[in-house]
Chain A
Amino acid sequence: MSRVRRKIAPYLLVLPGGIWLLIFFAVPMFTMLSLSLQEGDIVTGYRFTGHWQTYTEAISAYQTQLVRSLIYGVIATILLIAIAFPMAYWIAFYGGRRKQTYLFLVLLPFFVSFVLRTISWKQILTDEGPLLQPLRDAGLISQAFHILGTPYAVILGLVYNFLPFMVLPIYVALERIDPRVVEAARDLYANPATTFRRVIFPLALPGVFAGVLMTFIPASSDFVNSEVLGSSDTTMIGQVIQTQFLENSDYPTASALSFVLMAVLLVGVFSYARILGTEDVMKVAAR
């Protein structure tokens, strides 16, 4: 009896998550796949015709926005690593008793809604706002200079909004490093730079990898930052999908674009994992 129960137990444990995934992931995905192959319009209804040309049409019509989104995503992710790694490093190794406080401070802004925080940046960066107007009055920037509506503003928004998702995984990875490993490196006459390069950084890689997954994917498909901080020249693919779904009720195009974006991101993530040798990375993480 108890043996049977022990056999079933793992399946029972996976059941809630499994059902959740089935209802809220698998079914909607399937519906979207179907939608992307339908033809018609919202008034007379959409019917399944296997019209795969929607994909090619959508790609050729919106490739600019797609490529732009990926570029923004990559730039934002690189900047995130550059900013988050030193932060996490400092908290993990020099945070002392206040580590938890510092981590809390990193998270603090995120108790305010995502959209509100982004709008606040808009207030700060606006043409006649607290940042630019003094500079303009001092004659340091020209009348026409502006930040809002440029790619810089959008990438800044992305970096700001996704920072904790990069800091936390890197912090966790660094925190787990056994101090004795670092001491051993020193004992073996490695200087601080070599210790970092050959010991600490490789051990922190699983954190960086997790951080990249958690930031690159949402940053590339984000539609809020560009909507609020950008202009028509910074339109990202997420905005296009949103417009097609909600404004134009063009469900097939929107669904097709969603799948294209997903495919591109998957390919990107897998090739990235391949280059980094994720299996090794994950083995280190699992230890």
Chain B
Amino acid sequence: MPASNMSDPTLLRGLTQRRFGRRDALRLSGLAGMGAALAACGVQGQGTQAPASAEPDAVAKFWNGKVKNGTLNFAGWPLYMDPKRPELKKFTAKTGIKVNYQEVIQEMGPWFAKVQPQLSAGQSIGYDLMVITNSFQFTQFRDSGFLAPLDHSKLPNYAKNAGEAYKKEAFDPGNAYSIPYASGMTGIAYDESKTGPITGLADLWTNPKLKGKVGMFSDIQELANFGLLKSGVKPADSTEDDWEKAAQELKKQKADGFVRNYYDQSYIEALGSGEVWATQAWSGDIFQKNLSDNTNFKFIIPAEGGTIWTDNFTIPVTAKNPVDAIMAMDFFYEVANASTLAEYINYVCPVPAAQADMRARAAKLSGDDKDALLDVADSKLVYPTAAEYAKLHYYVSFEATSEQQKFQKTFEPIVLG
């Protein structure tokens, strides 16, 4: 329904009228008790959408009277920090804040579904800091008013050290609610010994060697991005017509027998086991896979373009220790800490100065350790150059949930088969 119709008062009245009518009918039929009881089970939401950028006094309102408590409950993702947690130990030594780091977030959808009821009821979710991706759910978190507005006066290191691209992200204008934890690229990973050179998305659609050996993501947004880029549209600028065209492209790819399957994180094993020879992939994964399993998979940003996404530090609005949380956020923007974190996770580091720090540290090492660290420091996957950034595009951003649902309905049939 176009937005203009929504504001038509007669239509609106008509809708509500009919709705009441139905409920009256229920009452008349003697099912009133049942109906009322059913109605009592509604799922609470926020009722209204919070504005995209925080009210000017919202920051002061949230942060007034909040003090450091010496505890921090941090919700992160698996394999997204050195298991020995050197940065967190350093943080505790420096600030005296004890950190309870839990790898509880594995997918955005389930995470949102899990914490939504508590946040809606204004209860603590048990975490003061969480790392969330700029997906549908980021918008849902923000629009529901579940994220605390950030007090940038408490983030001096972020202001000083964050790369320019990480201070003006479309999904969170002015970084009102989030600052990046790490970024990553979605591109193509392939086994060159089996496929020969691959340059772009066209290979995944037409290269005869890849028939039945292509892996795509089951994540609707990631899948759609490749369809959009293949049809020459930047995801962030796409319209509903573009979605339809992209879905056609993706259906053709499947009908022509190129797609072996649509994968979640398991694409890595599928690539490792030879089930697929070329696949949609996340940059850091491939770097880590090559390092840990001694494989030699290649990762490219497709000639037609790839996407860049960002995982972000955010503070749930019901956090018990928000001051401790924002201190930790800023701590990760000290160059030395950003550098060691990126060294372990191999995703795009939002602090450009960390590259020089890595090189300086590598200079003090020798042998294999030196080479390994220099590999990371020189990796375009961790520190993309301007040429790479030019080929990377942002995700589709949705203005309303209805738009997102439309998007989902357009692409979902491709994955569900």
Contacts and interface: CB of A to CB of B under 8 A. Distances in A.
B46 A44 contact: yes
B401 A44 contact: yes
A126 B45 contact: no
Contacts of B39: 34, 47-48
Given A44-B49, A235-B417, A127 B262 contact: no
Contact of B45 (A35, A44, A48, A148): A44
A232 B218 contact: yes
Interface string A19-38: 00000000000110111011
A110 B239 CA distance: 50
A127 B274 contact: yes
A50 B22 contact: yes
Nearest to A123: B273
Given A148-B275, A246-B113, A45 B42 contact: yes
A247 B37 contact: no
A129 B273 contact: yes
A245 interface: yes
Interface in B13-55: 19, 22-23, 26, 35, 37-49
Given A245-B113, A247-B110, A48 B38 contact: yes
B112 interface: yes
B405 interface: yes
Contact of A247 (B44, B109, B260, B274): B109
A228 B405 CA distance: 26
A64 B415 CA distance: 13
A127 B38 contact: no
A128 interface: yes
A232 B144 contact: no
A45 B143 contact: no
Nearest to B142: A43
B283 interface: no
A250 to B, nearest CB: 8
Contact of B42 (A41, A47, A240, A248): A47
Contacts of A40: 43, 45
B23 A50 contact: yes
Interface string A41-69: 11111111110000000000010110000
Interface in B381-417: 401-402, 405, 408, 414-417
B307 interface: no
A249 interface: yes
Interface residues of B, number: 47
Nearest to A44: B45
B126 interface: no
A106 B402 CA distance: 51
Contacts of B417: 64, 231-235
A207 interface: no
Contacts of B26: 50
Contacts of A45: 42-47, 120
A149 interface: yes
Nearest to B261: A231
Contacts of B237: none
Nearest to A233: B417
Nearest to A36: B38
Contacts of A50: 22-23, 26, 35, 38
B212 interface: yes
Contacts of B19: 49
B107 interface: yes
B356 to A, nearest CB: 41
A45 B44 CA distance: 5
A232 B262 contact: yes
Given A43-B144, A232-B261, A247-B107, A126 B275 contact: yes
B416 A246 contact: no
Given A37-B38, A232-B414, A248-B408, A46 B260 contact: no
Nearest to A33: B38
A249 B42 contact: no
Nearest to A34: B41
A248 B415 CA distance: 14
12 contacts: A35-B41, A38-B43, A41-B45, A41-B402, A42-B401, A44-B46, A44-B49, A46-B42, A231-B261, A232-B261, A249-B112, A249-B140
Given A38-B41, A38-B43, A44-B49, 4 more contacts: A44-B48, A64-B416, A129-B273, A248-B408
Interface of B: 19, 22-23, 26, 35, 37-49, 107, 109-110, 112-113, 116, 120, 140, 143-144, 211-212, 218, 254, 259-262, 273-275, 401-402, 405, 408, 414-417
Q: 10 closest Cβ contacts across the A-B interface?
A: A45-B45, A34-B41, A48-B39, A128-B274, A247-B109, A46-B43, A232-B417, A34-B38, A231-B261, A41-B401
